[in-house]
Amino acid sequence: MYLKFVLAAVFSYLLGSFNTSIVVSKSLAGIDIREYGSKNAGLTNSLRTLGGKKALLVVAGDVAKGGAAILIAYLLFHGYNAQIIAYAKLIAGIFAVTGHVFPVYFNFKGGKGVLTGGSVILFFDWRILLILLTIFLLTYFITKYVSLGSVLAAFALPFLMYYFYQDTLITSVGILISAGLIIMHRSNIKRLINRTESKTNFRKKKINNDNQEANIK
């Protein structure tokens, strides 16, 4: 059983390391998303830099790899009791998010893991994801800060894990994921406190880098 946990972790990390934002930016726009905008290889910067159509591919890829990690865990532990399967799914989810943030294929420099983490929660327990998504959307529509919505949703995660499962290990995993997401947003939190954080604008933009202009459509 322990070997299966290791396999779930390794496979999920390798899946998570396939950073869709970097792949889409390089293959379809001829740029490295990590050199533009906020320099973050995630959905928000993809929306701002690449535009909505290419960002949809980022969404599809990040959701798919989160779902694939959960599926791998389920297949490896099919036949075990529900609690063990739940633990396996969460371990797979943690390593998928870790791969997204520190992708082995891209010099360990990836995104912040919000979308991948969200897809993991979706396939783990859609009820929790629905509540987190509500928190995120309400925050965004009121403030226009994607980062603030992400941080507040991350903060709520362990409380929801405890409410629905009342399991120490599951709640601890929720705390771990929450802490990781919040730490990845530490620069955003600092800008929010200083009131210098940029509000999200989904309009297409022209990008300047090393005196070269690229209009990503």
65-123: pLDDT as tens digits: 999 999 999 999 998 999 999 999 999 999 999 999 999 999 999 888 888 888 999 99
- Could you give the CA distance from residue 132 to residue 126 in angstroms, rounded to a whole number? 10
**Is the model more confident about 161 or about 52?**
161
Mean pLDDT is lowest, of 69-73, 109-113, 156-160, 196-200, for: 196-200
**Is the model's pLDDT at 193 over the cut of 80?**
yes
Residue 94 half-sphere exposure toward CB, CA atoms < 13 A: 20
What are the residues whose beta carbons fall under 8 Å from the beta carbon of 105, sequence distance 6 or more?
17, 18, 19
- Could you give the CA distance from residue 113 to residue 171 in angstroms, rounded to a whole number? 19
Structure tokens at 140: 């965004």
**Is the model more confident about 146 or about 131?**
131
- Could you give the CA distance from residue 93 to residue 123 in angstroms, rounded to a whole number? 10
- Could you give the CA distance from residue 60 to residue 63 in angstroms, rounded to a whole number? 5
- Could you give the CA distance from residue 54 to residue 216 in angstroms, rounded to a whole number? 9
Average pLDDT, the chain: 88
Residue 131 pLDDT level (bands cut at 50, 70, 90): very high
H helical segments located in 185-213: 186-194
pLDDT for position 201 = 59
pLDDT for position 121 = 92
Which whole number is the average pLDDT over 132-161? 93
Which whole number is the average pLDDT over 8-33? 93
Q: Provide the 3-class DSSP secondary structure of residue 213.
A: strand
pLDDT for position 14 = 95
H helical segments located in 34-125: 43-50, 52-76, 82-101, 114-124
